[in-house]
Structure 1
């Protein structure tokens, strides 16, 4: 049994924390909105009133929060984890955030006798609930090996990508791929409808061929049904794509597909869809 502190119980974090709790680990929770953690508290998790309290109660601290500024505040502020964690603690940020921030956190953690990993995930609400997330890890090998038993509860494809920041760079590759893929999925469904086909029957043919992808299999059916509930918020996807685009530009890399997808999702957000799931992109093609 590991004493785990968990910060961030949104769409993804809640299910990830629940899987850890069901596996028999001692779970301590802190989040800005206590109500979002009630199901975990009812099943035996312990509420902590501050990050400092949580850091003192846990040996491993896992975070999955919203934006890079949230990550920075949770880890690097005077009230943050690094200031208050016990020596020897393992810190695992599973937020999709900036690679440079992951490097900064790892450096600050090491100076305090702590180990920090960046371990963003992919798989949406479905992967989080089933414990089948893809987990991309940056940080030192010893820290990765220590975290692996916990990662195996939350995910099934777990790869140590390299030093601090490597996990976040890998997640950027993931989001760049999804960005253009979601355009293709939306256009394909719009085309099927325009051609007078049954989009669901079309999916039976194309999901198992060369066009197959996670988005086509899991999100296209939601598009067809008009189910736009968030497995992953548009506002968070915009955040991810913005980080990827800025990082690519810093490296001198052109990503026109990413730029187009970002502009379309920003259009959706401006139309009031920022809290919808990413599959709401189909609305622009209807």
Structure 2
């Protein structure tokens, strides 16, 4: 996600979003991602799907939920929980986060004790973006700030609901789009094939000069290369592909795609201004 990092670090670090649920729900059992029907939730969902490697839903009733897990409609908010119920909810979320953290790091134990044996200079290989209101964040704040060894970013912190929606909408609309990219508006980078239809990598340059690389025109999975000059040599991301041969193309030969309205993908610093 953070494309200002070097490629190796970018491959190593996974960005994980946690999206709080909403009060407005569908009338029947649905996948969790479709159960919550408010505009605010759907904007958070869209942002998480665009900018993160994975995401979960933070439910007041069910804790951390996979987006495809099917749920019946319910009427519970974190504000309804107090005393033992709130403590049980917090502990369930904490345990789930420890379990998932250990899974990412390859630590066998599903609790915080497994981290005691790690080196002092250990750095986790993923980070969390928390898209949730204060009612959901406050009960977890002490754990996230003092115990949890993973960077946590809260880009919506301090914003009113209308400002949050505008922020989410603005960044979602700025995400790279491939709708207007065709074989006529892209340059194929491939050392083994003369036919662009068989190429492994395509480059496209927007009129701003920013470069977008896509593995194939059918995959619809863009990678934006930040701060790439319009002129000069652009290194292919296929560097490590077969025989470890690196093929390049002059950036000036990458055509502009005027119809694709997108900007360079932002970094976590743009989203949050710091970690908790």
Q: Which TM bucket (shorter chain)?
A: under 0.3
Structure with more contact order per residue of length (Cα contacts < 8 Å, sep ≥ 6): 2
TM-score by length of 2: 0.28
Which has the greater radius of gyration? Answer: 2
TM-score by length of 1: 0.27
Normalized per residue, which structure has more helix?
1
